Amino acid sequence: MEYPREITVIQAAAILSSTIIGVGVLALPRFAVQAGDTGAPLVTLSGIFLASLGLLLITILGMRFPNQSLIQYSENVLGKISARLGSVLIILFFTLLTALTAREFGEVVVTSVLRRTPLEVTVVVMLLLAMIPTRNNITIFAYIHHFYLPLMVAPALLIVVLSLQNANPLHLQPLWPENMAGALQGTLTISALFQGSFIMTLVIPAMRRPKKALRASFWGMAIAGGVYFLTVIAAVAVFGPEEIKQLRWPTLDLARSTSLPANIVERVDAPFLIVWVTAVFTTLFSSYYLTVHSMSELFRLRDHKMFSLFMLPFVFVIAMQPENLQQLYSLIVVIGRLGLWLTIAYPAVLLVAALIRKRRGSAA
Q: Per-residue string for binding with another protein, 2-41, x by CB under 8 A? A: ------------------------------------x---
Eight-class DSSP state of 342:
I
Site membership for another protein, residue 182 (CB under 8 A): no
User: Which of 82/136 has CB closer to another protein?
Assistant: 136
Site membership for another protein, residue 330 (CB under 8 A): no
User: Which of 135/212 has CB closer to another protein?
Assistant: 135
Site membership for another protein, residue 257 (CB under 8 A): yes
Provide the angle, in degrees to the nearest 10, between the axes of the packed helices 269-298 and 138-163: 150
Give the separation between CA 180 and CA 176, rounded to whole angstroms.
9
Q: Per-residue string for binding with another protein, 101-120, x by CB under 8 A? A: ----------xxxxxxxx--
42 to 101, contacts with another protein by CB under 8 A? none
Using the Cα atoms of residue 213, residue 94, residue 288 and residue 359 in order, give the sign of their dihedral.
positive
Identity of the residue numbered 98 = T
User: Which of 174/261 has CB closer to another protein?
Assistant: 174
Residue among 156, 129, 161, 162 nearest 260 (CA):
162
Part in contact with another protein (CB under 8 A); list of ranges 93-101, 142-150, 163-171, 280-288: 163-171
Site membership for another protein, residue 261 (CB under 8 A): no
Residues with Cβ within 8 Å of residue 161, at least 6 apart in sequence: none
Q: Number of residues in contact with another protein, rule: CB under 8 A?
A: 34
Give the separation between CA 261 and CA 265, rounded to whole angstroms.
8
In DSSP notation, 107-168 reads: HHIIIII-SSS-HHHHHHHHHHHHHHHHTS-HHHHHHHHHHHHHHHHHHHHHHHHHHGGG--
Give the separation between CA 290 and CA 159, rounded to whole angstroms.
31
Site membership for another protein, residue 139 (CB under 8 A): no
At closest approach, how far in Å is the CB of 228 from another protein? 22
Site membership for another protein, residue 267 (CB under 8 A): yes
Give the separation between CA 2 and CA 67, rounded to whole angstroms.
8
At closest approach, how far in Å is the CB of 358 from another protein? 49
At closest approach, how far in Å is the CB of 240 from another protein? 5
Site membership for another protein, residue 121 (CB under 8 A): yes
Site membership for another protein, residue 321 (CB under 8 A): no
Site membership for another protein, residue 284 (CB under 8 A): no
User: Which of 73/239 has CB closer to another protein?
Assistant: 239
CA 51 to chain centre: 10
At closest approach, how far in Å is the CB of 333 from another protein? 22
196 to 255, contacts with another protein by CB under 8 A? 238-240, 242-243, 245-246, 253
Residues with Cβ within 8 Å of residue 86, at least 6 apart in sequence: 74, 78, 342, 346
At closest approach, how far in Å is the CB of 122 from another protein? 9
Give the separation between CA 16 and CA 65, rounded to whole angstroms.
19
Give the residues across from 207 on adjacent strands: 7
Binding site for another protein (CB under 8 A): 38, 111-118, 121, 125, 128, 132, 166, 168, 170-171, 173-174, 176, 178, 238-240, 242-243, 245-246, 253, 256-257, 259, 266-267
